[in-house]
Amino acid sequence: MLLRFGTDGIRGVANSELTPEIALVVGRAAARHLGDAGFLVGSDTRISGPVLKGALSAGLAAEARLVVDVGVVPTPGLAWLAARRTMPGVMVSASHNPFADNGIKLISSSGTKIPDATERAIELEIDRLVGSTVAGEPVGKIVDGRGAVAEYAEHLAVAAVIPPGSRLHVVCDCGNGAASSVAPKVFGGLGLEVEFVGATPDGVNINAGCGATRPDFVGGEVVRRRADLGIAFDGDADRMIAVDHTGGVVDGDALLALFAFDLQARGLLDNDAIVVTVMSNLGLRRALAAHGIGVVETPVGDRFVADALQRDGLVLGGEQSGHIVFRRDETTGDGILTGLKLVELVCRLGRPLAELAGEALTRVPQTLRNVVVADPGRLDDAPAVWQEVAFVERELGDSGRVLLRRSGTESAVRVMVEADSADAVDRAVRRIVAVVERELGSA
C-alpha cells in the first residue's frame, strides 16, 4: 500500500495510484476501526467517483456493514449527516485537485475528521488486508440514501437571516463540483438576486478554471454582470473564497477578520479569541490584536482548527485558503455555510464588501510558493535548507517570518515568506526556493 493519509485523507491519481482495489481494502479497514453498524458514503462530481465509491462500499459491505450511499454531496454535508445520524462517513473526493485525482476522507460518527492515531491504525490494517479475502462473514447491505442531502440543504437554509428589504446581487461559482447540487437550492431561497456559474458538472470539469482556487473567474463574472460580490467553492465545497464588486479577492484571512469583529460586536465571540493556522497573514494577527482578540495557532488543516475550537471553547476559526469553521453550526469547514454567513453580514451592515474587507485588516506582503521536488520527505533532514531559512529569518527580524513545510497532498514543499517589504519577501523566497530545489531535487 503506497498511499498514506496526508493533511486531508488519502489522495492520488484515480485508477492509477488510487485504484478500485485500494478503495475496497480501505473500506474493509475503515469498517474494522470506525464503526460496528452503518456507514454513510458520498462523493463529489469526478468521473472516477462512482467507481471508487462502489469499490469502497463493497469493502464496507464485505465486513458486514450497512452502507448508505448519499450520492453527490459536499464534504461538510456528509460530516453534518454523520453527526446527525451518529454514523461514520467516508467521502470520495480530492477537494480542489484536478479531476484526474481523487481521494478518500474518513469522518467520525461525531462529524469530525478522524484523529492521527486512528489513521495510523487503519494504515496498518490496510497493509494486513492487501491480498487477503473475507471468508464466512455475513454480507452487509448497500442502500440508496440520496434523499439525505435534502436534510443538509434544509439545515443550511436557516443558517442565514437576511434582513427584510435587502438588495444584493451575488454571483456564486460552484466550481462544477459538489456545491452544484446544493448551493442553487439554498441561495435561491434567500430572496436576493443570485446567479450561478460553474454549476454544470460533467465529471471532468471540476475545478477546471473555476472555483475557490481560481477566484479570478468569479471575479470576472462579478464585474461583467455588475454584481455586488461573488463567492467561489472548491470541488467538495468545504471552503470558500469571496470577491468584491471590483473582482478583488477576499480570502480566508479577511473573512476571519470580518466574522470575528462582527461576532465580538454582538457579544457572540466566546472567550474573545479565534483559531488560525500557521499560514495566516501577519496582518490578520495585528488586526485581531488591535481589537483585543486573541489567537490560537494550529498546523495547516481544518481538522486541527476544529480540534482547537473544541478544546478551547471557541466558536470561530479557519484558514487563509477559505476553510472557515463556525463551531455553533457545524463540526468542520463548510464553504456554502461561510458564503451564507458572508451574504448575511453584508446585508445586515449595508456596506460594500470592498469597504468592509479593506477596513478589516492591512495585509502584510506574503508569498507562498509550491516547489515541486523529487523527494519532499527529505526536507526535515536537509541542513542546508534550514541554514538558509535561519539566515533569512535573522535578516527579516521582527518584521517578517518564514514557514517551510511538506505538502500533505502533493509532491512539493511549500515555502511561505511574509514581511513589511515586498522586495524583501521576493528576495527571500527566491533564495530559499533555490536551496530547496538544489537539496531535494527539482522534479
Cβ atoms of residues 295 and 281 within 8 Å: no
Residue 21 three-state SS: helix
Q: Given its phi and psi angles, is residue 9 left (phi above 0), alpha (psi -120 to 50 degrees) or beta? A: left
Question: What is the per-residue burial (b if ≥16 Cβ within 10 Å, else e) of 34-60?
Answer: bbeebbbbbbbbbbbbebbbbbbbbbb
Cell 481589537: give the residue.
291
> Is-contact 235 94, C-beta < 8 A?
yes
Helix (H, G, I), strand (E, B) or coil at 6: strand
For the chain, the farthest-separated pair of C-alpha atoms sits apart, in whole angstroms, at 67
Stated as kind and residue range, the H or E segment containing 388 is: helix 383-396
Strands 294-298 and 249-250: unpaired
Q: Which residue carries 475496497 as its cell? A: 24
CB-CB contact of 295 with 288 (8 Å)? yes
DSSP readout, 222-280?
Answer: HHHHT-SEEEEE-TTSS-EEEE-TT--EE-HHHHHHHHHHHHHHTT--GGGEEEEETTS
Given 95, 109, 181, 321, which residue is catalytic?
95
- Is 181 tagged catalytic? no
The three cell numbers of residue 336 are: 456554502
> 28 with 62: CB under 8 angstroms?
yes
Q: Catalytic amino acids?
A: 95
